Amino acid sequence: MGEFRIERDSMGEMQVPAGAYYGASTQRAVLNFPVSGYRFGREFIRAMGAIKHACAEANASLGKLDRKLAGWIQKAAREVFDGKLDDQFVLDIFQTGSGTSTNMNANEVIANRAIELAGGERGSKLIHPNDHVNMGQSSNDVIPTAIHVAAVEALHRQLMPALHRLREALRAKAEQFDAIVKIGRTHLMDATPIRLGQVFSGYASQIAHADRRIAQKLIILRELPIGGTAVGTGINTHPEFGKRVCDALNHELREQFHEAHNHFEAQAAKDAIVNAMGTLKTVAVALTKIANDVRWLGSGPRTGIGELILPATQPGSSIMPGKVNPVICESVLQVCAHVVGADAAITYAGGLLGTFELHVGMPVMAHHFLEATRVLANVCHVFAEKCIDGLEANTARCEALIEQSLAMCTSLAPLIGYDAAADIAKQAHAGGKNVRQIAQELIRAGKLKLTEAQLNEALDPRRMTEPSDKVLPVSA
């Protein structure tokens, strides 16, 4: 065949690389969209393979497609699903907004591979990309269905396990650090004591809540637009087609997909992806809080807060010998910035690119959602393994800073009143002393009606880290 072969589509002849499984429509899109070099990733291509496999099964079961021909299509679609033909998905993300080019890319690859499996010659159209592989379908319902299938799988297979891993790492640190009391901080200023384990229990709870929010979004994403064809009316497809495709997908993927209750919403709008992406942004915001706190608590090591000792993963400076930086936390923070940006892109596309009966921002929305999911999952594993697991507490530093906090006077307020406690804090600050020292001086001078034992009990840092009903009346 030489370097090229000639294939034909509705617009005429087209030169296609001789070794390619894709055909004329795909090659036109290759030439039309040399924009970014970004391609659909494994999860999306896997979803396309699963959908085409399920569509062939549905058409065969409905008597619309010859069972033997459907079998060849399914074998080829299985190879797409398994990743054996990923190099044949050559189109740029920034293409036709419906993803028609990518749907035809899949149709042509599957058709030509099916022809080859059946003993025919690529490009012969013995198995037709439109008439057979795309039977009962439109790009307008296939692509949004692929987005939902890929999103559900990515969340289930990538992000949720990664969040579980991170949550368990944080929970383990909450237990390990439970006996260590440190000073709390509010408004970046010294506050009352808190146990380091309590701090980490809060981080673990943030991740647990993130996991639950994602589980809620899966319910919406399991609703698939397939069966709506061009504009949601289901033209050129069997009334049971959408349901049977969902049944086939559920059998193959062990999922709980179902046909959209309203195909017009499912194809004209992309609210489900906008909503789910908002949850990914929330995960990023939670990770930002945790990673930022960890790097600040480990700052120093001598002139910063220094209450945490972060694992040393690599040299931190090309000019300052011995410097070690919180690079894992910085990686997390950059991923979070990326995810927030992805949310902005999806929000913009979701609102402005859905016009009348079709949304024309689907490829870019799919790309950003799946990339955000992938990098969030990866960085959660990295954060857990290379930072959280190896964290140690600087117990001596935690204890030393507690007595320096003027907020220690808070536990005196129920005993001597707010104003008297505030006056002790002011005297301590002005005199360069701590609250305990000023209170002891006032007791010895007869100006504070407390015993030393009462003072020590009130200023016990551990006691301050939990509620207590043992409160004496305010002194007159």
Count of Cβ atoms closer than 10 Å to residue 413 Cβ: 17
| CA separation, residue 95 to residues 279, 434, 473 (Å) | 27, 66, 73
Count of Cβ atoms closer than 10 Å to residue 328 Cβ: 24
Active site residue 317: yes
Radius of gyration of the chain (CA): 31
Dihedral angle computed from the Cα positions of residues 95, 99, 105 and 108, in that order, rounded to the nearest 10 degrees: -140
> Does residue 367 contact residue 150 with C-beta atoms inside 8 Å?
no
- In this structure, are strands 258-259 and 223-224 parallel, antiparallel, or unpaired? parallel
- In this structure, are strands 4-9 and 12-17 parallel, antiparallel, or unpaired? antiparallel
> Does residue 6 contact residue 16 with C-beta atoms inside 8 Å?
yes
User: Would you state the structure tokens that stand for residue 115, as one six-digit string?
Assistant: 């022809």
Write down how long the chain is.
Answer: 476
> Does residue 118 contact residue 244 with C-beta atoms inside 8 Å?
no
Catalytic residue among 10, 187, 318, 468: 187
> Does residue 18 contact residue 2 with C-beta atoms inside 8 Å?
yes
Catalytic residue among 36, 124, 317, 475: 317
DSSP conformation letters of 194-221: EEHHHHHHHHHHHHHHHHHHHHHHHHHH
Between CA 6 and CA 339 the distance in angstroms is 43
Q: Which amino acid is at 437?
A: Q
Count of Cβ atoms closer than 10 Å to residue 10 Cβ: 7
Strand residue runs (E) in 239-386 = 258-259, 308-309, 354-355, 358-359
User: Would you state the structure tokens that stand for residue 476, as one six-digit string?
Assistant: 């007159």
Between CA 78 and CA 61 the distance in angstroms is 18
Between CA 105 and CA 240 the distance in angstroms is 26
* Best CA proximity match to 273, nearest among 163, 177, 353: 353
Question: Does a cis peptide bond (omega within 30 degrees of 0) precede residue 301?
Answer: yes
> Does residue 216 contact residue 152 with C-beta atoms inside 8 Å?
no
Place of tokens 């990309």: 129
Active site residue 209: no
Catalytic residues: 187, 317
